[in-house]
Structure 1
Amino acid sequence: MISLFDITLRLNGFPIKEAKTELNQIINLSEEEYAVFLQNKKKEIVDFHLKNNPFYNELIGGKIVEKWEDLPILNKQNLQKPLSERLSEGYPVKKVYLNKTSGSSGTPFVFAKDKYSHALTWASNIMRFGWFGIDFNKSYQARFYGIPMDFIGYRKERLKDFLSRRFRFPVFDLSDEVLEKFLQKFKTKKFDYLNGYTSSIVLFAKYLEKKNIVLKEICPTLKACFVTSEMLFELDKILLERQFGVPIINEYGASELDLIAFQNPKGEWQVNAETLFVEILDENNNPVPHGTEGKIVITSLFNKANPFIRYEIGDIGILDEKSTPQKPILKKLIGRTNDVAILPSGKKSPGLTFYYVTKSIIEDDGNVKEFIIKQTKLDSFEIEYVSENELNSEQIKKIGDAIAIYLEPNLNFTFTRKNVLERTNRGKLKQFKSYL
């Protein structure tokens, strides 16, 4: 079998062979060797950007920083400058990999990776998917993602899908008629795995549940399902396992960095310690002990084109107590720092708590397919939902009662039934959004 995927990467200037070799060496380091590797890499990337990146130099303010902890924390706002002002010398626009973040955190921006660091990202993806018997050169992917709607963007994406052995199921319309068409494709195509946005894949599983179908029975080639970009709740994971009949793997990544954490075959959410250095910090940017929640701050150890050094990604998480530098385990991802509901009493609650409490009631009888929550005022929330039947007053009262217990009483809710929920231009569903 010709390695079309690897060849395409090489033709685009990404040295995948060298990247795979280096990744392999990093994985096989002993604990002591890894500690030395990490120390050297951190020093090397900071020194490189101090020497070659005027933007990073300005951020440091020209002072000599002795300790890692004294380096500034980068955030998306810092990075909202024209790309030309952020690129390192020797890495012009023509020589780097360019992309832009989805803007799901509210601040999209364009970023660059040098070709080698992007090849390492692919090597890391290839290795991790390989844990589950998936080979990008051979395996056929059912891809649940958005797609550009302009003619050229659409054609380009379809060509990329063809070269990458993927069949795309666009997620902008997930009505029963469309899901039925998806299902027919699984009967005729030999898919090896599903990959895509959690919310869309969960909706497909709910449709299968309603029809009493297990996907593996009609598509026996299926080996696994990988969900990304949105929270995977435990009950949804159980539903997916039941309706698909294959392992469900949860990944957490950021386009500007790499895969950040990926569920390993033991079911642990293993952090990528080969190309990234992940810290969990408190409000004052001090490291917190394992087992304690804090903001996730990430350093890209190889990207020379664009500095991502102590970069605050905008998420809150907890590293497991059993984490080691070489094998950190993400115990819990709590969600976006900017998705917080601020309540009249002054209490702050992660938007996902809100979402979760509502979810446990609203989805009881399988009537509501999906929903989002918007906070419009301190005490006012709008819930938009897609369902077979309108919610009745009893269900609405139940939601109010549960929220009064978990969060606080006297909050106002309006419920709007919709045919389809608004997704981002990439097809992500933003489960909670505050307009305060």
Structure 2
Amino acid sequence: MLPLFDLSLRLNGYPIQEADAELRKIAALSAKEYLLFLEERKTAIVAYHLENNAFYKELLAASTVKNWADLPVLNKTNLQKPLAERLSKGFTSTNIYSNKTSGSSGEPFVFAKDKYCHALTWASNKYRFGWFGLDLNQSYQARFYGRPLDFIGHKKERFKDLLSHRFRFAVFDLSDVVLEGFLAHFATKKFDYLNGYTSSIVLFAKFLQKKNIVLKDICPSLKVCIVTSEMLFEGDKILLEKQLGVAVINEYGASELDLIAFENPEGEWQVNAETLFVEILDSNNVALPYGQEGRIVITSLYNKAHPFIRYEIGDLGILDEKSTLQKPILKKLIGRTNDVALLPSGKKAPGLTFYYITKTIIEDDGNVKEFVIKQTKIDAFEIKYVSDSKLTVDQIQQIEKAIILYLEPNLQFTFIREKTLKRNKRGKLKQFTSLV
């Protein structure tokens, strides 16, 4: 009999055994065999959608396509139309997996995968989690995520957690009283790993630091922590590994695609080259060489229900110079393309630059727990923060000096102390927002 997690996928029409076998087969290919596989899959998925998908056929109608680089780049604005208009022939709501993106890019939309493609998504997760001795059918997960607040949605999520062998810690309230309750669960449950939003687990680690507790001492069964959906800064990784007492693994994914990159046992952010083809493009949609920064554009090699071909996910990144087609390494994830601050001088700066500079100063003494930055005007920024005590004049002056040093002078900052910071419906914390 199939284990419970695999069985639940199978009962819902997702052929996980076949997907597991296919993924293992791709992972075992030689370098030469992989190049043939990649070209075959790229050609096949384009041909399939040109024949079976009216939406994609119309998108290509104005293009002269002689090679891969001629294919248009698909963006999220293209996809903001009813799902039924974007599905391939033979696919309906009854034979697909569909969901809605989180909206962290500001452009949410409903997407679809055929059931085999979705099974491959789970096979990819199982394969990579296995690098660290985790088994989705057996390993017990401490899940730091949001959850639906409506009655039916909440019950469904609880049932999915049961099938997936995970215990959910809802991240909407992360006050010390609630975190004390979280800690109590670790003392009584044999968790194998933590998985969830970076900011939430970092806040829990700061709580542990304040209490001088290493989590693995409380819960010896813990093996690893996997963080996702939000930026992981090096200082936060050091804090997490110290207070959790286990290795911290960085994950990068997108619900509409798959797991995009996952930190391997050698500490490299290895890109998923089994089910995806990842490119870094410049502003003219020209592929950049390894080592150069550009827009992350991804092709789903297996999704027949819906085309994600040269799809711009909305992030900026760099592939490492040592990358190969079979083993691309994500050297750096810089942030979202829409999280850019336009400054009075005309300079454009990634919003995370402000976040990073500020973070190095105001989190130094452990007083500030979390903060977010919002650009309200071209020269005005609002910093909301949660702390034990109010920021000092000296700290504020240090931040202003650092901004002048790294960016430019005459920017105005307003500091607002809050009891809690607002997260989105799924529990994510958006670190930088521009209203300009």
Q: Same fold (TM over 0.5)?
A: yes
CA distance in 2: counterparts of 1:141 and 1:21, whole angstroms? 24
CA distance in 2: counterparts of 1:83 and 1:179, whole angstroms? 40
For the pair 1:339 / 2:345, whether they are aligned, the reply is no
Deviation at 1:2, TM superposition (A): 6.0
Deviation at 1:66, TM superposition (A): 1.6
CA distance in 2: counterparts of 1:37 and 1:364, whole angstroms? 49
Output the amino acid matched with 2:99: N
Deviation at 1:417, TM superposition (A): 0.6
Look up the match of 1:9. 9
Look up the match of 2:162. 162
Deviation at 1:62, TM superposition (A): 6.4
What do the CA deviations read for 1:96-126 (whole angstroms, capped 9, x no partner)? 0011100000000000000000000000000
Look up the match of 2:107. 107
8 Å Cα contact 2:140/2:192 also seen in 1: yes
CA distance in 1: counterparts of 2:123 and 2:62, whole angstroms? 35
Output the amino acid matched with 2:200: S
Deviation at 1:398, TM superposition (A): 1.1
Look up the match of 2:205. 205
Output the amino acid matched with 1:385: Y
Matching of residues 22-421 of structure 1 within 5 Å: 22-61=22-61, 65-421=65-421
What do the CA deviations read for 1:134-187 (whole angstroms, capped 9, x no partner)? 101110000000001111111110111111111000000101111111011100
Deviation at 1:239, TM superposition (A): 0.4
**What's the secondary structure of 2:332's corresponding residue?**
strand
Output the amino acid matched with 2:392: N
Give 5+ residue unaligned stretches, structure 2: none
CA distance in 2: counterparts of 1:206 and 1:63, whole angstroms? 53
**What's the secondary structure of 1:179's corresponding residue?**
helix
Cα RMSD between the aligned structures?
A: 0.9
Deviation at 1:394, TM superposition (A): 1.4
**What's the secondary structure of 1:385's corresponding residue?**
strand
CA distance in 2: counterparts of 1:298 and 1:418, whole angstroms? 38
**What's the secondary structure of 1:374's corresponding residue?**
strand
Output the amino acid matched with 1:325: L
Deviation at 1:88, TM superposition (A): 0.2
Output the amino acid matched with 1:259: L
8 Å Cα contact 2:249/2:263 also seen in 1: yes
**What's the secondary structure of 2:405's corresponding residue?**
helix
8 Å Cα contact 2:63/2:72 also seen in 1: no
CA distance in 2: counterparts of 1:223 and 1:427, whole angstroms? 25
CA distance in 1: counterparts of 2:399 and 2:63, whole angstroms? 54
Deviating runs (4+, > 6 A) in structure 1?
Answer: none
CA distance in 2: counterparts of 1:82 and 1:336, whole angstroms? 25
Deviation at 1:63, TM superposition (A): 5.5
Look up the match of 2:427. 427
CA distance in 2: counterparts of 1:260 and 1:404, whole angstroms? 36
**What's the secondary structure of 1:75's corresponding residue?**
coil
CA distance in 2: counterparts of 1:187 and 1:233, whole angstroms? 28
8 Å Cα contact 2:294/2:316 also seen in 1: yes
**Aligned-residue identity in percent:** 72
8 Å Cα contact 2:63/2:71 also seen in 1: no
Output the amino acid matched with 1:393: V
CA distance in 2: counterparts of 1:11 and 1:46, whole angstroms? 30
CA distance in 2: counterparts of 1:289 and 1:57, whole angstroms? 29
Give 5+ residue unaligned stretches, structure 1: none
Judging changes above 3 Å, is the alpha-carbon distance between structure 1 residues 63 and 366 closer, same or farther for their aligned structure 2 residues? Answer: closer
**What's the secondary structure of 1:34's corresponding residue?**
helix
CA distance in 2: counterparts of 1:348 and 1:73, whole angstroms? 23
Count of equivalent residues: 436
CA distance in 1: counterparts of 2:427 and 2:6, whole angstroms? 27
**What's the secondary structure of 1:360's corresponding residue?**
helix
| TM-score of the superposed pair, with normalisation by structure 2 | 0.99
CA distance in 2: counterparts of 1:236 and 1:65, whole angstroms? 45
Deviation at 1:393, TM superposition (A): 1.3
